[in-house]
Each structure stands twice: as structure tokens, then as C-alpha cells.
């Protein structure tokens, strides 16, 4: 694998994560021997099984993948069925009456 060659922007260079700064300074080799370390899964909450994917979600994704209708590249503004569902859901939160339409919803997620 080649080295990362994308230079960070000036804005990115100036960002910090205060929590990360604290965690990076911890000495895990010098913990009290009579105390058990309690992992709070900093970063990835699924790392230690603290947040398993619900079985219903796994089943729903599996079923969609088996259907094969949406396994390729989707439209650049998002799948129409998803845009409808999102518009309906957020319209309900705003009191209904078609507050949002699918034309108001634009999203895209990428997998690398």
C-alpha cells in the first residue's frame, strides 16, 4: 500500500480534538494493579460489542441485497424511495402537511 499523499488543508491543520489529546497522554502500562480498566470504547462504539447491529437491521439489509435492485451506483441525489421516506419522516416532525417533499432531500453516502 502506498503512503498517504494528500496534503491537509490549512483549516484541517489547525483543528484539534481535546479528548484525543487527553487520551493520547494516558499511560496504559502504569495502571493500578488492583483496579480493572473499564473500556469506554473511545472512537468506535462497536469495537468491544457494546453496540451490536440490531438483527432486524441485518435482516433488512440482507433482504435488500438479495433483491439486487439497488446494489449498484445510485442516483447522485439519493435513491428515490429513501428520499420519499426521509421527506415523510421529517414532515411528520414538522407537523405534517407535506412540509418536505422528496425534491427537498439530497444525500449521498460513499463506500471506499
How far is residue 40 CA from its own chain's centroid? Answer: 18
**Distance separating alpha carbons of residues 49 and 47, to the nearest angstrom:** 6
pLDDT at 68 over 80: yes
State the pTM of this model: 0.41
Q: Are the beta carbons of 17 and 11 closer than 8 angstroms?
A: no
112 in any annotated domain: no
Q: Total domain count for the chain?
A: 1
Q: Could you say which DSSP state residue 111 is in?
A: -
Q: Give mean pLDDT, residues 6-32.
A: 81
23 or 111, which is more confident: 23
Is 111 inside a domain boundary? no
Q: Mind listing the pLDDT tens digit for each residue in 25-57? A: 878 788 788 877 776 656 666 666 767 888 999
pLDDT band of residue 112 (cuts 50, 70, 90) is: very low
pLDDT attached to residue 84: 92
Structural domain that includes position 18: 10-104
Amino acid at each position: 500500500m502506498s503512503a498517504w499523499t494528500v496534503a491537509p488543508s490549512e483549516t484541517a491543520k489547525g483543528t484539534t480534538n481535546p479528548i484525543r489529546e487527553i487520551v493520547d497522554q494516558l499511560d496504559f502500562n502504569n495502571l493500578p494493579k488492583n483496579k480493572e480498566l473499564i473500556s469506554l470504547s473511545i472512537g468506535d462504539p462497536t469495537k468491544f460489542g457494546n453496540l451490536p447491529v440490531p438483527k432486524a437491521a441485518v435482516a433488512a439489509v440482507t433482504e435488500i441485497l438479495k433483491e439486487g435492485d439497488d446494489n449498484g451506483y445510485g442516483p447522485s441525489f439519493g435513491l428515490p424511495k429513501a428520499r420519499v421516506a426521509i421527506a415523510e419522516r421529517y414532515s411528520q416532525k414538522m407537523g405534517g402537511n407535506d412540509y418536505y417533499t422528496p425534491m427537498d432531500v439530497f444525500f449521498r453516502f460513499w463506500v471506499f
